[in-house]
Structure 1
């Protein structure tokens, strides 16, 4: 199970509401970091003592400065360090000697950064940074960062200061604000998990915007995000890759198809978060969550006064993974009483001019749909919001309709999103005030609904990994076959052949047709290391002679051919990410697996229900369920292999990758016919 994250450690409170702050490197030059830090710190001096340190000792912003920390009348609790890299170490040491409890490292490219972090921790202090853009806390009126912030309910935790600043600015433009801003920078000391943990009990924070370039201590981060979710706070995640494992050349099908973003998505699902692609998408989702909330399902009603715009919206909804269901006759009849005969009322709903004749029709139609049990959200698209702008006499009436739309959405507890051709005006402001998220494009609106719906999934409990075996992991197919067979994975009957003299007894034990494999090769087909359909011992002997001549001596494996009809070939694998731990994969298998790349990934280990859900998300799941008259196959046995592989990968830190391809799934069972296990100590071997 995911363990609940602990609450913030007391020593981190210094970064939220310190009793005193010193800015080292304070400057009167508005173009310098020291100016912004000094300006922000001074804005909170009614709440705490603020000291400015400047080696020249000249006043900054009309405030006395000191030449160094030692001249201060009292030892500051929090010291912001914004000096040239060569001087950072000396400033930190001086602060620690005075008893500072917290340090904010702004300076980048500090040569002895690692040693500084060690000294900070040894002194019992903590540091955020180095290479931080700063910190901000609206409730505590603490502003030690470049730029200006609008107070609100979004906590921005970002490894990139600039990107975090972009999120804050986009939020402000959307009428939202920031509760807390922490640019964690290089995480010399304080890491992302600790900063996130500090938000669990933060009443001002409702949404967490998290940008990470790497997932050091990834499982702890997942546990903390799950704890945030349990506290009622959604996390919206941004990343550019998620793991340095993505840069490593994979040796297996599994390795080549588990991209870093796929693993981050798996981590997000486990934690109950969602990964978005851009800062703008993040703010779009935050608008919806902070307004009318999450939809209970994927069913969306599309409404507009243009057939073209509603038709486009329906297509965009489908592309976003949402459903635009056809309405029942009862609902269509109810809508038809409000609309002209030419109106479309099956979904999407084209008002066919009714909205222009009477703006209140918008509110009535949306009210009917939001109160219906046939939809989970409503998307209003097109001209609404522009009537009053183009015809000022309609402004009050349109504003009243906007207020009614928001009141209905709040009363029904279902999201209403509005795509309008208008820019910000009186009507869009009324919509925002009533909790309706407004977007300039329909794709932005419906993507936000999609992401918000994804957040309705509960965090996935991670089952405990079984106790690791003491048996060492060896390379090669025979070893992989033995390891997996011992855990219940079925393989065809087979035997190892060391030399031609072994063939006669082996052939007698097995039933033809035979399969011959060069057991030590990782990619047998490409090397000519596999022959199938060998009819008798004569063909088997000839095939072995050919392989030995081309490939040399080694362990060859003879197996019975699995020639069952109506079999679907699948891939099951696992790999170990250095930060997120073991992940398990299932997908379309065979020699074209990397071409189709139809796979799903989850953090390991998984239980049977999760394995079945992974299989069900695949495009090729239709083949497993029976396609065009073919019988359904034994999906349960495939799911059991997924569970087994996930447990094996989670328990064995000495396994880098597991690859079973193909797993031949028939109507009665699933049988693995090739497998590869890569020991961790050989992952980077040539």
Structure 2
């Protein structure tokens, strides 16, 4: 169902309306009246005849005219009956303020499921429950109660009312920007984050989407909608719950999944979302991205009136991955003509007192710098805005002139300028003019740098966008008949995992370089198979009841002679029976001893929020200790497979160290892509573990493979 009648309601019923000024049912009506809400307000309370001059109704179904939206302020146990009554009036949406639902345990969860069931039966969309409310600032539909919230072009989604209040207060005090909508998402029981993105993507008033997220119910759908939305509008997100304590706190508030895993962060960034780590960065980054063009080439120039700020800015931006290029000789020559001999005209540029008597020199320098083709944007740091305060009042007019010129310059050059100023608290008019032109000004140098890096990150994403990164699976696109047979056979036996030789056969069907193992049921068969392999072999127990072979002492390595093979065969069988007397032993797997190389691990699992994900890193016995891994939400493209390999700490080893030849990264990349294809082809697979995968100078060997199936009936 479209959210238009919910988000742009032309009539609102306040259920639980009250004459008590401390009650939400009174505050909502007063705020709507004071804000000149353009729609119709219907107070609902069977005990009152009128509230604040408005006729009061006993129930929603008694209202004569259509009702688009209901604000429900009554306690949680009353909500199902209230929604039933709203259904009789064909109300499109309900904002449920009350807590006491999924965030409060099993009883609350049952009540939440009940209100969702009732709402869906009556075609009502729910915001919340456990929400602070919602606002449509364009139509002055304020269902939160906050006063003097600035209007603008930023949509705010938050699972914390206090965080929303903080962000709105910051906008009011420090910016000329404001909000198109605010939604307190609450428990996300019905309307999900991805549905809000879809709505805001098409909303003409909204130019950026700012999000504070504690938990998310449908992560993959969110990624898919974020991918589409971020191509049109920037999305800025702060995800709380990174620590174990934070997860508990988030869970107690929203009742939703929490935790900022590596999987989540890389997935968000891959979908074009700008992820911030600190709460004080959230609004500034949104303000910047909604006001300025992105940096197209990840290259920034720094203009300063002091060496200290310039050096710090250069360090911070470099740490954030933004390049600070050399300026062209033509640019440097023009700056030399303008600035004192002591000025530094490399990048960063230090005016060395060249602006003390004439701050318009900032605009002259900015014009020269932005004309340089190597420069994608400009960060100006230092005293601008304070020259009239520090030196002479007459300089204020010059600063204002420079602000006008630079504001027009951004529009003309389509390159951003971001300001850091020590004088923001003094509120000089020059800084107000910069903000009027959409140039943000910050008193924190670190935040200014973060905003610059966000502009560069967005520019890079838009420039490198590729349609294969939309998080969409084409299930069974390359499934093999034999592969389906292997899985069906395991299902028929009631097994939740493939046996190792079955897993490797499945891998072989998709071109994977898995070792060519054979199943032996007697010592004689094992000897015969080993002879055909013409090298030393490995013996492994094969049993659906023994998933971890090493725990059962079910593996023997580097066996060469017939006697060694026969003895190892009998020993492994005895060990398995001692470990699990009732084990169903299918035989012994005979595998060729792998050549030496670098051991890595490749695996997939099913993430609760985002679905199938893939992991790559240093493998063997070191995987649990070093934990040098890279993860991505599946499916992946060749570009992302290459990136995963390259971003691990162990990546330099693949290039060859101390005179060793480099390892075969090309084939390793193909293994990652094969895993992506395999998961896309067989939705039955819950988890896959290839460890170790041995990378050689030429080629790769998958030595061990484990594939676990999803519970029956949960393949999708």
**Do Structure 1 and Structure 2 share a fold, with TM-score over 0.5?**
yes
Q: Which is worse superposed, 489-498 or 283-292?
A: 489-498
Partner of 1:488: 511
Q: 1:465 to 1:125 in 2, by over 3 A?
A: closer
Q: Does 1:434 align with 2:443?
A: no
Displacement after TM superposition at 1:440 (Å)? 2.1
Q: How does 1:589-604 map to 2 (within 5 A)?
A: 589-604=619-634
Match of 1:447 among 439, 446, 450: 450
Q: What SS class does the counterpart of residue 448 from structure 1 fall into?
A: helix
Q: Does 1:671 align with 2:662?
A: no
Partner of 1:125: 124
Q: What SS class does the counterpart of residue 9 from structure 2 fall into?
A: coil
Contact 2:601 2:620 in 1 (8 A): yes
Q: For the residues of structure 1 that align with 2:242 and 2:696, how far apart are their CA atoms?
A: 37
Q: What SS class does the counterpart of residue 621 from structure 2 fall into?
A: coil
Q: For the residues of structure 2 that align with 1:351 and 1:518, how far apart are their CA atoms?
A: 74
Partner of 2:292: 292
Q: 1:389 to 1:631 in 2, by over 3 A?
A: farther
> How many residues matched?
660
Q: Which is worse superposed, 539-548 or 468-477?
A: 539-548
Q: For the residues of structure 1 that align with 2:572 and 2:344, how far apart are their CA atoms?
A: 68
Q: How does 1:252-401 map to 2 (within 5 A)?
A: 261-393=261-393, 394-401=395-402
1:331-352 deviations in Å (ceiling 9; x for gaps): 4444334444444333222333
1:445-496 deviations in Å (ceiling 9; x for gaps): 2222223322231262446343455231634433322221222111234334
Q: For the residues of structure 1 that align with 2:121 and 2:535, how far apart are their CA atoms?
A: 70
Q: How does 1:33-182 map to 2 (within 5 A)?
A: 33-43=24-34, 47-57=38-48, 60-69=51-60, 72-74=63-65, 76-109=67-100, 112-148=111-147, 149-173=149-173, 174-182=175-183
Q: What SS class does the counterpart of residue 673 from structure 2 fall into?
A: helix
1:355-408 deviations in Å (ceiling 9; x for gaps): 335433333333322221222222222233332233351222222223333333
Q: What SS class does the counterpart of residue 321 from structure 1 fall into?
A: coil
Match of 1:514 among 519, 525, 537: 537
Displacement after TM superposition at 1:152 (Å)? 0.7
Contact 1:581 1:650 in 2 (8 A): no
Return the TM-score normalized by structure 2.
Answer: 0.83
Q: For the residues of structure 2 that align with 1:481 and 1:380, how far apart are their CA atoms?
A: 59
Contact 1:216 1:579 in 2 (8 A): yes
CA-based RMSD:
3.3
Contact 1:604 1:647 in 2 (8 A): no
Return the TM-score normalized by structure 1.
Answer: 0.86
Q: 1:86 to 1:200 in 2, by over 3 A?
A: same
Q: 1:330 to 1:588 in 2, by over 3 A?
A: farther
Q: 1:243 to 1:128 in 2, by over 3 A?
A: farther
Partner of 2:104: none
Structure 1 unaligned regions, length at least 5: 1-8, 248-258
Q: Does 1:188 align with 2:189?
A: yes
Contact 2:664 2:700 in 1 (8 A): yes
Q: For the residues of structure 1 that align with 2:588 and 2:176, how far apart are their CA atoms?
A: 68
Q: For the residues of structure 2 that align with 1:545 and 1:336, how far apart are their CA atoms?
A: 85
